[in-house]
Amino acid sequence: MAFANSQVSDLLATTIAARSRALADNLEHNNALLMKLRQRGNVKLVSGGTHIMEEIVYDDGDTSSGSYSGYDVIDITPDSPISAAEYDFKQYARAVTISGLEIIQNAGREQMIDLLAGRVQVAETKLRNAISAGLYGDGTGNGGKDITGLLAAISTTPTSGVYGGIDRGTWNFWRNQEISCTSDVGAAMSASTILSGMNKLALACARGTDRVDLIVADNEAFDYYQSALQAIQRVTNDSGQGLAGAGFTSLKYHGAGANADVIFDGGIGGNMPAKTMYFINTSYLKFRPHRQRNFVPLGNDRQSVNQDAVVRLIGWAGNLTCSGSQFNGVLSN
């Protein structure tokens, strides 16, 4: 039977609890997409409910609005094209474990704090990496338990499938924009075709003053864009402000009415699909953690009946949500 040490239990719980806000901050600062959403004020906590709801306004083809003259009859048919997309809560957890032997070897309070802080830091990193990877997935990973990420929100096949509970095959307004260099520009993605593809997609995503403000690229797409700019001397922002100042490899895109940061989110362990750029209007994308599951200790200690060890879980729940698919797009090969 595992023995319970109340001092260790309290230290483990308080160490995790004390670092929960730091972990949330670190997740947002170490992921360029989340950092941009936080700057927009679009990291919003959820208080409860069976699903995460995002209210949307859409064009349902109504023709009752229009001009009239004098005593013409005005159409007063009720029309309220307001609905909501709904997203499941996705849950993540990571264990912090300490054995009875480690407890007695680090019996001094300071030694125990150091040991537990190191264990919690490792767990934080792994949990943060798992959530970051999920942001670029389609939600089908691990039997559909992963975050519904950009692969679903901004699809290369936007005329089919259900996203946020809305059928894209039925509702045109819920289809994101999609440009293929091969099909829409005339040749595969390269340094000579990528600018044309980017311009076409930026125009397709624009409506009124709504513009793309963030472009996320994988290794190859970022390299093509960088090569296309080198002839005209690319300029990065290294003033300590914005994404470049935060340590992300960042360029700028000016064109088709848009002024957007172009960030590199590939590299070692990158989760982006190859030869892909996501064009994002961050006004319509939100990161929605649950208020009671934002990197907090889950319950009490877990103790095995036949092991001398104590386990605590760090938990998170929420999802990535979208309220305007048509304002986002993907550039692919």
DSSP 240: S
Q: How big is the CA angle at 205 (ends 154 and 191), to the nearest 5 degrees?
A: 80
Q: What is the pLDDT of residue 64?
A: 63
Higher pLDDT, 311 or 285: 285
Pairwise CA distance, residues 2 & 203, whole Å: 63
- Among 89, 128, 113, 132, which residue's Cα sits nearest to residue 314? 128
- Please name every residue paired with 297 in a beta bridge, in sequence order, or none if there are none: 314
Q: Please tell me whether the overall predicted TM-score, pTM, comes out greater than 0.85 for this model.
A: no
Structure tokens at 218: 């994988």
Q: Evaluate whether 202 touches 212 at the Cβ level (below 8 Å).
A: yes
User: Does 317 have pLDDT greater than 80?
Assistant: yes
Higher pLDDT, 282 or 246: 282
pLDDT tens figures, 107-154:
777 676 677 777 887 887 888 889 988 999 999 999 999 999 999 999
Pairwise CA distance, residues 181 & 196, whole Å: 8
Higher pLDDT, 280 or 310: 280
Share the mean pLDDT of the chain: 83
Q: What is the pLDDT of residue 279?
A: 97
Structure tokens at 292: 């009671």
Q: What is the pLDDT of residue 286?
A: 95
Q: What is the pLDDT of residue 155?
A: 97
Q: What is the pLDDT of residue 201?
A: 96
Q: What is the pLDDT of residue 248?
A: 59
Which ranges in 73-206 belong to alpha helices (H)? 100-105, 109-134, 141-144, 150-153, 194-204
Helix (H) or strand (E) holding 245: helix 242-245
Pairwise CA distance, residues 70 & 311, whole Å: 77
User: Does 232 have pLDDT greater than 70?
Assistant: no
Question: Please, what is the end-to-end C-alpha distance for the chain in angstroms?
Answer: 58
Strands of 309-322's sheet in order across = 90-99, 309-322, 285-302
Q: Which residue in this structure is represented by tokens 């040991």? A: 115
Pairwise CA distance, residues 124 & 27, whole Å: 9
pLDDT band at 5 (very low <50, low <70, confident <90, very high): very low
DSSP 111: H
Pairwise CA distance, residues 12 & 4, whole Å: 12
User: Does 169 have pLDDT greater than 90?
Assistant: yes
Higher pLDDT, 247 or 146: 146
Residue type, 103: I
Q: 241 — phi, psi (to 5°)?
A: -110, 155
User: Does 247 have pLDDT greater than 80?
Assistant: no
Stated length of the chain: 333
- Please name every residue paired with 177 in a beta bridge, in sequence order, or none if there are none: 329
146 Cβ contact partners less than 8 Å away, ≥ 6 residues apart: 90, 134, 137, 139, 140
Contacts of 23-26 with C-beta under 8 Å, sequence gap 24+, read 23/124, 23/127, 23/128, 23/295, 23/314, 24/289, 24/294, 24/295, 26/124, 26/128
Structure tokens at 64: 């009752």
Q: What is the pLDDT of residue 4?
A: 42
Q: Which domains does the chain have, with CATH numbers?
A: 6-58+84-332 (3.90.1690)
Neighbours of 68 (CB within 10 A): 9
